[in-house]
Amino acid sequence: MAAADRQHIYQTIQTSLTHIPSYIGQEPPDDYCNRIETAISYTDTMIADANTANANTFIDAHKADIYKLKMTGKYLPVPPQHAENNINTPAHFRAWLGDTYLQRTVGTR
């Protein structure tokens, strides 16, 4: 099987993401991020094959972009950095979302 290109990986992930609404603070950030992580994990083999065939076809920065695209409302815009770290991995995104949730959702109750 030929390695998937980045666009095909995005399309496959999008199919899994369709049932996950955009994030507006409706659930704790870790629960929401776990749902996105699960959707992305369905393509782990495809990602590994693509990265083996062509290094850096689909890296953590691409995964972080998927998380960012699911934000809306008071969670936009997602800044390029948080706590002096680029928000370019799922882990850095989770850290930003957790802090932002505490400030913009929990802090307003």
Mean pLDDT by 10 residues, the chain (109 residues): 79 95 97 98 95 93 98 97 97 98 84
95 Cβ contact list (under 8 Å, min separation 6):
82, 83, 85
Assign 71 to helix, strand or coil. strand
> What pLDDT does 75 receive?
98
Q: Are 13 and 47 in contact (CB under 8 A)?
A: no
pLDDT of residue 109: 61
Length of the chain (residues)? 109
**83: CB partners within 8 A, 6+ apart:** 95, 96, 99
Is residue 64 within 8 Å of residue 55, measured between CB atoms? no
Which residue do the tokens 């929401």 mark? Answer: 32
pLDDT of residue 1: 42
What pLDDT score does 17 carry? 96
